[in-house]
Amino acid sequence: MKIKRYGLAALMVFCVVAGGLLAYSYRLFLSTDTKEGPEPMPRKFLPKLAKVRTHLYFLGPDHRFLGAEERNLVQQDGVVERARSIVHALIEGPEGDLLPTVPAKTRLLALYVAEDGIAYVDLDRAISDKHPGGSLCEMFTIFSIVNTLALNIPEIEAVKILIEGREAKTLAGHIDIRFPFSPDMLMIK
């Protein structure tokens, strides 16, 4: 009996010690403390991120067409990451003479691209609540997003706009956005 008890006690001590070592090694594995790992590479030796020429479509000063503003955006890996950086640049607005098409308070909540080439752009309620309204303004907002994504990213053929994760009937009361939009070159001058 005593042997079984000592054997059982030894097994329990072994399990506790092994579990502690396993937890400690796992903590080291997940540790992000740079003091234990190699020193970070000095900034001057980090690889420079490539920039890609991108055309962002904003409202022209004549209020009749979309115009392209050329920007050099950091090249992101993956279609979704590139699309996100482009939408963020659209929300930030133009840097030159063109006019914004997306309300400045708008936030991108999610973005994904399906295998069939449709990009789903999920924006918060500010896209509707802060929108100036009118069917022409809605068209410019929609095709600013659609043309900018589809004409800069070959994998995107059409864009579906969602609001707060849901399909909406309209952006601000006029244009039906329940279906994906393909780029429209007639909107660009």
In angstroms, the Cα distances linking 129 to 57, 165, 171 are 22, 16, 9
Per-residue pLDDT of the chain (189 residues; tens, 9 = 90+): 666 666 666 666 666 665 555 555 545 444 444 444 455 555 555 456 688 899 999 999 999 999 999 999 987 789 999 999 999 999 999 999 999 999 989 999 999 999 999 999 999 999 999 999 889 999 999 999 999 999 999 999 999 999 999 999 999 889 999 999 999 999 998
Rounded CA-CA distance 158/171 in Å is 17
In angstroms, the Cα distances linking 118 to 3, 14, 133, 182 are 70, 56, 26, 9
* pTM given for the model: 0.73
Secondary structure, 3-state, 54-122: EEEEEECCCCCCEEEEEEEEECCCCHHHHHHHHHHHHHHCCCCCCECCCCCCCCEEEEEECCCCEEEEE
